[in-house]
């Protein structure tokens, strides 16, 4: 039997099944007994590894008393697990793709971000997030903007010495006047403060570098101990998680090219300091 692996959509699906089991007041062992399965089969399911048919999944969801809308969502996710990558639409929930990214970042042990036009999300301060959100074509209601700020700040809780973070930032992102001079000053000072942490690396790609491998857009590279690497690309109303080997290899090449162009850590700090002053 081929080894089953876990994908981004598979892990999102598995989280939903786990929540359903807990909401039903049951356990994986009890459900396995009721269904006549090995407990490992339920365990693989909640880990996003599949191993069941749609009929078997429907039986499990029925035993858990899952409501129709959630059952349809989980069945749709289950079908997505067979595809390469995961294209997630906001579907009216503007922060849905961000929630998926947050879940994957919590599992990753190495995060590499390339940001072309804005400060990377993990380094943004509240005032900067608000300024960007207020100019968004999506976030038009104050409560949506506040929710975005809260979620994006909570996302930063993953900073810990158990992980490594590398941020490649284009100089134009540092100079784009988001929120005005005071906001930008505080934002750039925050970046300088974060670079003191030994597990955080910030490197700037200078404007003088001209055309470069990252001109097609920003992305986040997620690496895990237990799963295959993932590339996250954010759109206006979508999020794309790429997992196929060709795509992952291509973005590896982009990161290597950016690494060759970027200023070193000390030079990057000096440039940021010069912009602040």
> Would you say the C-alpha torsion 213, 214, 217, 221 has a positive or negative sign?
positive
The answer to whether the CB of 258 falls within 8 A of the CB of 114 is yes
Assess whether 114 and 192 both reside in one domain.
yes
| Domain final residue pick, 80, 103, 134 | 80
Predicted confidence at residue 79, as pLDDT, reads 80
Report if residue 42 sits inside a domain. Answer: yes
The answer to whether the CB of 243 falls within 8 A of the CB of 228 is yes
Assess whether 75 and 94 both reside in one domain.
no
Domain at 231, CATH number: 3.30.870
Assess whether 71 and 107 both reside in one domain.
no
The pairing of beta strand 200-205 with beta strand 86-89: unpaired
Domain count, the chain: 2
Report if residue 124 sits inside a domain. Answer: yes
Cα separation values, 114 from 47, 158, 216, Å = 29, 18, 11
What does the alpha-carbon distance between residue 137 and residue 144 come to, in Å, rounded to a whole number?
12
Assess whether 112 and 64 both reside in one domain.
no
Token duo for residue 91: 């579907």
Report if residue 2 sits inside a domain. Answer: no
Choose among 204, 165, 195, 183: nearest CA to 129. 183
| Domain final residue pick, 22, 45, 80 | 80
- The boundaries of the domain holding residue 107 are 86-276
Report if residue 3 sits inside a domain. Answer: no
CA 184 to chain centre: 24
Predicted confidence at residue 84, as pLDDT, reads 66
Alpha-carbon dihedral 139, 145, 151, 152, rounded to 10 degrees: 80
Assess whether 128 and 46 both reside in one domain.
no
Assess whether 118 and 66 both reside in one domain.
no
Predicted confidence at residue 94, as pLDDT, reads 54
Choose among 78, 120, 72: nearest CA to 232. 120
CA 52 to chain centre: 27
Token duo for residue 269: 């700090």
Token duo for residue 20: 């359903």
Domain at 13, CATH number: 1.10.260.40
State whether residue 188 is helix, strand or coil. Answer: helix
Assess whether 54 and 90 both reside in one domain.
no
Report if residue 66 sits inside a domain. Answer: yes
Assess whether 184 and 154 both reside in one domain.
yes
Q: Which helix (H) or strand (E) holds 219?
A: strand 219-223
Predicted confidence at residue 3, as pLDDT, reads 45
Assess whether 43 and 111 both reside in one domain.
no
> Would you say the C-alpha torsion 120, 126, 128, 131 has a positive or negative sign?
positive
Assess whether 92 and 71 both reside in one domain.
no
State whether residue 136 is helix, strand or coil. Answer: coil
Predicted confidence at residue 239, as pLDDT, reads 85
Provide the residue-wise pLDDT of the chain in tens; the chain has 277 residues.
334 567 888 888 888 899 999 999 999 999 899 899 999 999 888 887 778 888 999 999 999 999 999 998 888 888 877 666 788 877 655 567 888 898 899 999 999 999 999 999 999 999 999 999 888 766 667 887 888 889 899 999 999 999 999 999 999 999 999 999 999 999 999 999 999 999 999 999 999 999 999 999 999 999 999 889 999 998 877 888 998 899 999 999 999 999 999 999 999 999 999 999 8
Report if residue 136 sits inside a domain. Answer: yes
The answer to whether the CB of 96 falls within 8 A of the CB of 157 is no
| Domain final residue pick, 40, 60, 80 | 80
Assess whether 140 and 28 both reside in one domain.
no
Choose among 132, 126, 177: nearest CA to 153. 126
Predicted confidence at residue 121, as pLDDT, reads 95
Assess whether 73 and 141 both reside in one domain.
no
Report if residue 1 sits inside a domain. Answer: no
Alpha-carbon dihedral 251, 209, 260, 110, rounded to 10 degrees: -50
What does the alpha-carbon distance between residue 91 and residue 113 come to, in Å, rounded to a whole number?
26
């Amino acid at each position: 039997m081929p080894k089953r692996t876990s994908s981004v959509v598979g892990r999102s699906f598995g989280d939903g099944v786990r929540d359903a089991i807990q909401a039903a007041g049951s356990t994986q062992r009890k459900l396995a007994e009721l269904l006549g399965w090995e407990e490992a089969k339920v365990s693989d399911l909640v880990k996003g590894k599949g191993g069941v048919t749609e009929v078997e999944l429907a039986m499990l969801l029925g035993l858990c008393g899952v409501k129709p809308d959630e059952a349809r969502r989980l069945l749709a996710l289950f079908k997505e697990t067979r595809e390469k990558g995961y294209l997630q639409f906001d579907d009216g929930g503007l922060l849905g793709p961000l929630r998926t990214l947050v879940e994957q970042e919590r599992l990753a042990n190495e995060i590499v971000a390339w940001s072309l036009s804005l400060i990377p999300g993990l380094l943004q301060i509240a005032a900067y997030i608000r300024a960007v959100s207020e100019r968004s074509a999506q976030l038009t209601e104050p409560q949506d903007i506040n929710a975005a700020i809260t979620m994006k700040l909570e996302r930063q809780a993953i900073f810990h010495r158990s992980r490594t973070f590398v941020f490649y930032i284009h100089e134009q992102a540092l100079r784009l006047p988001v929120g005005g001079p005071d906001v930008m000053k505080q934002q750039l000072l925050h970046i300088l403060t974060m670079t003191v942490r030994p597990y955080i690396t910030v490197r700037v790609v200078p404007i003088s570098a001209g055309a470069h491998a990252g001109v097609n857009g920003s992305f986040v590279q997620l690496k895990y101990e237990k799963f295959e690497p993932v590339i996250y690309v954010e759109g206006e109303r979508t999020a794309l998680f790429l997992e196929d080997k060709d795509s992952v290899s291509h973005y590896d090449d982009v990161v290597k090219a950016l690494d060759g162009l970027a200023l070193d850590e000390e030079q990057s700090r000096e440039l940021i300091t010069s912009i602040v002053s």
